[in-house]
Structure 1
Amino acid sequence: MSGDGSGADGANGEENDGQRFDRLPETADERVVAGRPTREEVVDWWEERYGLAPETWDGHTFWEKGKGKIWAFAGDLVSPTPVEAVGMRVIRARQEHWKPSTDAVQRFCEEATKNVVVLEPAEAERFVRGEDQELDRWEGDWGYLVAAHEFEGRVEPIGVGLYLHGELRSTVPKGRQEDLS
């Protein structure tokens, strides 16, 4: 899957209203807003990119607010819903490469089996400070990775990194960067 969320345009030509939350349609056949991702596409993307089991999302509904900001909510609401926030932002879609949010990676990617780079302690410290670093040992896909480190015998996700040309770029939001030294 390309992760672009494009597909068949809706028959009724509805447009995205960036000021409200609209529930994602289950499948492309149910899409009424052109370019809006479907639940099926979102679940498939997490499985294909990070190896997350589709069951990870059982009990969650997906919502779009803005253009491509996808939120997961452990429950259900009437759609559309005029609230400021619902659940957790999990993906920025409607762009060439979908980007998972830091919160989603920390919350859901403990069970990720693909595109997870486990950082050594010094690398993890640099990452959470927001520093980019050379990382020539990574032999997996380029693009957005789950950056993780081993903590008390378990691999724990710490954030989203962008891996390009031998460099791991930290995307830890400025307000969440930490100096652990």
Structure 2
Amino acid sequence: MSDDTGDQRPENDGQRFDRLPATSDERVVAGRPTREEVVGWWEQRYGLPPETWDGHTFWEKGNGKIWAFAADLVSPNPVEGLGLRILRARQEHWKPSTNAVQRFCGAASKNVVLLDEDEAETFARGDDQELERWEGDWGYVVAAHEFEGAVEPIGVGLYLHGELRSTVPKGRQEDLS
């Protein structure tokens, strides 16, 4: 892309991993989230402490698919896979991945919907359910269930208008009854 002055600006290359810039002052690709924005979003939305991400580098591949990698590499990087996809950004409402919620959201303190056994089974099957008792934010939530005294994240739910919609991927849905 170029502007009227002929200045060339880097564009997102969806075929490679590019490290997220630390802050907006370091951003060179328009629209690319920053590490600061990603860490801040997890903290604001789910109450995850920023140190959750210490030791991880953040990468974008595709248009807004954000990955976390527990090491460091040169950027850009043309590898096919790198770490764990944690987030879909570059849209109005960012959406966490199921893997990220299961891996990191045991420490979440906000927007966690605690499901009883029947509700957890319904959610894990991939079925939507009425859930009028939730008084938290609408949008993407962490669906969790207490197991042996600990709250365990099951996956990502979408809560709207008194309904919890399961976003468990078809290949990972399970009948736990």
**TM-score (normalizing by structure 1):** 0.93
1:27-38 mapped onto 2 (5 Å cutoff): 27-38=23-34
Aligned mates of 2:124, 2:137 — CA distance in 1? 21
Aligned mates of 1:28, 1:144 — CA distance in 2? 25
**Secondary structure at 1:45 match in 2:** helix
Deviations, residues 53-82 of structure 1 (Å, cap 9, x unaligned): 000000000000000000000000100000
Identity percentage of aligned residues: 82
Gaps of 5+ in 1: 1-10
Deviations, residues 150-174 of structure 1 (Å, cap 9, x unaligned): 0000000000000000000000000
1:59-78 mapped onto 2 (5 Å cutoff): 59-78=55-74
**2:82 aligned partner, one-letter code:** V
Aligned mates of 1:122, 1:77 — CA distance in 2? 44
1:121 is aligned to 2:117: yes
**Matched residue count:** 171
**1:13 aligned partner, one-letter code:** R
1:92 is aligned to 2:91: no
**Secondary structure at 1:156 match in 2:** strand
**For residue 139 of structure 2, what is the aligned residue in structure 1?**
143
1:160 is aligned to 2:174: no
Q: Which of residues 48, 51, 56 in structure 1 aligns to 2:52? A: 56
**For residue 105 of structure 1, what is the aligned residue in structure 2?**
101
Deviation of 1:13 after TM superposition, in Å, equals 1.8
CA RMSD of superposed structures (Å): 0.8
4+ residue runs over 3 A deviation: none
**TM-score (normalizing by structure 2):** 0.96
